[in-house]
Amino acid sequence: MSDRYSVDPSELLQTRALSKNYGGVVVTDSVDLNIVDGELHAIIGPNGAGKTTLISQLSGEIRPNSGRILFGGRDITTLSTWRRALAGLARTFQITSVFPDFTTLDNVALAVQAHAGHSFGFLADAGRDASLNGPAAQALEQVGLGSKRNALVSTLAHGEKRALELAMALATQPRLLLLDEPMAGMGPEDSLRMISHLLALKGRLAIVLVEHDMDAVFALADRITVLVRGRIIATGTPDEIRAHPEVRKAYLGTEEASAC
């Protein structure tokens, strides 16, 4: 095996020449990505750059046409979504996915239940199971929803629903958290709260963050990877990305880069 495809034990996740196309449209193009355990790694780029498709390949929702995905030194390229979840990969989505007619505690308890491999046969009872609602309550506290454990999800504000989805992911005790635009649709106050939650998680687990809010990205990221038309054009620290001439030209723009 060549050096390009060797496994670095210091890196939790690696992709090697990861590519996805739909007919003649290339969505991710030979992506080499390295995620270090404990870092918050942001992926940015213009609309249509392939960010969500990349996240979907990492989580297993989309199978790549070519390339490899390594997680903890193990090749998971063909592993199913639920097996990746059991191995420690958790994902949130651009559009919140929760059960609106259940309480917040029930929703998180269901996530714990699913991660443990139990059936969804008794949805309404999940939040009353001590082995489930203990971890669920702890996850709700982590995202500031402890006081709303008995509130129906349908009564929550948008920002609270996004925080609930984060709690559901955390309740599975992931090694790597994939966040796809967690601040989508949020106002300034909710965005600041989400940033605070993510700052509190830094160093405790690895996080891959796809986000359009550049203030949030530059406040949170240890490293940033920039995708343009499916290809990585730069990876570096926030300061390196701000100053990168190709990034400024292709995505940030001179004025926006200066403001970040």
Question: Which pLDDT band holds residue 95 (cuts at 50, 70, 90)?
Answer: low
Q: With CA atoms as reference, report the closest residue to 223 among 29, 12, 36.
A: 36
Q: Which residues contact 239 (CB under 8 A, 6 or more apart)?
A: none
pLDDT at residue 99 in the model: 87
Question: Which pLDDT band holds residue 246 (cuts at 50, 70, 90)?
Answer: confident
- Calculate ∠ Cα 91-173-7, nearest 5°: 75
Per-residue model confidence as pLDDT tens digits over 199-241: 999 999 999 999 999 999 999 999 999 999 999 999 999 999 9
Domain limits, the chain: 1-88+174-260, 97-173
Q: Which two tokens stand for residue 20?
A: 């996805």
Query: Does position 69 have pLDDT exceeding 80, yes or no?
Result: yes
Q: Which two tokens stand for residue 115?
A: 């991660």
Q: Which two tokens stand for residue 15?
A: 């992709």
> In degrees to the nearest 10, what's the CA dihedral of 31, 55, 195, 127?
-150
Per-residue model confidence as pLDDT tens digits over 9-61: 679 999 999 999 999 999 999 999 999 999 999 999 998 999 999 999 999 99
Query: pLDDT exceeding 70 applies to what percent of the chain?
Result: 86
Question: Which pLDDT band holds residue 125 (cuts at 50, 70, 90)?
Answer: low
Mean pLDDT of 145-150: 95
Question: Which pLDDT band holds residue 128 (cuts at 50, 70, 90)?
Answer: low
Q: What is the pTM of this model?
A: 0.88
Name the one residue in this structure whose structure tokens are 């949805």: 123
Mean pLDDT of 103-111: 91
Reported in sequence order, the residue ranges of 111-222 that DSSP labels E, i.e. its strands, are 176-180, 206-210
* Amino acid in the structure at residue 88: G
Mean pLDDT of 164-193: 93
Mean pLDDT of 104-115: 87
pLDDT at residue 68 in the model: 97
pLDDT at residue 205 in the model: 95
Query: Does position 138 have pLDDT exceeding 50, yes or no?
Result: yes
Question: Which pLDDT band holds residue 260 (cuts at 50, 70, 90)?
Answer: very low
Query: pLDDT exceeding 90 applies to what percent of the chain?
Result: 70
Superfamily of domain 1-88+174-260: P-loop containing nucleotide triphosphate hydrolases (3.40.50.300)
Instruction: Considering only residues 137 and 131, tell me which one the structure prediction assigns the higher pLDDT.
Output: 137
